[in-house]
A and B are shown apart, each in its own frame.
Chain A
Amino acid sequence: MPLANVAFVEPMLKRRLSSLARMVLCVAYDCVRAIPNARIVFASRHGELVRTTTMLECLAAKEELSPTLFSMSVLNASAGLLSILQKNTAPSTAISAGGSSFGYGLLEACLQLAEKPEQPVLFVYADEPAPTLYEVSEPPDKRAHALGLLLESSAETRIAWSLAARTDAPSQEDQSQVFLRCLEQGEADWSDSRRTWHWLREA
């Protein structure tokens, strides 16, 4: 898969970006290029698990760990990079909540906006399939992808959200892709084994 274009990142920083971090910065920059003080909420199911796995394999082989890999392997690495790039000192939050990481991340971003409507919130979700080693159960067509949403109180698009006991069979798609369908078509449902998420576009 080709790497996401991050030509705006200076070369000395760009060389350290994982494929996940490149996706995050690519979509984030499209949203907040002109907004240097947005709060940032980043969500990912697996985060930098590809890098973490490489490090664990190094440890297992009794090789020395790469300091570069280590420094960029935490969940909030990408959000931190964005704040450094933009010299943005606004709060930054990183969330992981299993298969519902997208939904809970978006919820966190919405709550932050409700608490302080005058300061925009950037929500970025990015994820890659877990390394096969982990045998994680994932949607069959799971691909590396990222999604950036800029939340502002003046936004024209408004989404209502509800959560209820599960009614349908568990979804075979990533939650983020189902949410995109809500943006495109006006409504979408996503279920795991326990709950059904419902999004409805109100405007």
Chain B
Amino acid sequence: MDMLKLEIKRLIIAALDLEDTKPEDIEDDIALFGDEGFGLDSIDALELGIALRKKFNLQIEANGAGNREHFRSVNSLALFVSTHTQPQLA
């Protein structure tokens, strides 16, 4: 799970052009979105959704009721990825 969290942090940094951020700057449980937390916005959410779909072959519904909870933090994303990843086709 820790490897997966690190992978997700690296994905966030790369997909959202956070060039001055290191993986350890993103706490596992910090709220990713909103000014109270890490400060990402709605465009970041869309961009991150695309990156997650590509990397983990995730199925994410555009207006899925659970998205807000899945995208809350690195912890919740790791849980979401580990339970929803589709097997990669060779």
Contact = CB atoms under 8 A, between A and B. Distances in A.
Interface of A: 11-12, 15-16, 64, 66-68, 71
Interface residues of B, number: 12
Contacts of B24: none
B47 A15 contact: no
Closest 5 CB pairs of A and B: A67-B46, A15-B17, A64-B50, A67-B43, A67-B47
10 contacts: A11-B20, A15-B19, A66-B47, A66-B50, A67-B43, A67-B47, A67-B50, A68-B16, A68-B47, A71-B43
A15 B16 contact: yes
B73 to A, nearest CB: 18
A68 B43 contact: yes
B39 interface: yes
Contacts of B90: none
A67 B49 CA distance: 10
Interface of B: 16-20, 39, 43, 46-47, 50, 53-54
A22 to B, nearest CB: 13
Contacts of B16: 15, 68
Contacts of B50: 64, 66-67
Nearest to A17: B17
B50 to A, nearest CB: 5
A123 B23 CA distance: 41
Contacts of A12: 39
A20 B33 CA distance: 28
Contacts of A68: 16-17, 43, 47
B12 to A, nearest CB: 12
Contacts of A11: 20
Q: Which of B16, B20, B43 is most buried by chain A, counting CB atoms within 10 A of its CB?
A: B43
A16 B17 contact: yes
Contacts of A16: 17, 43
A111 B82 CA distance: 61
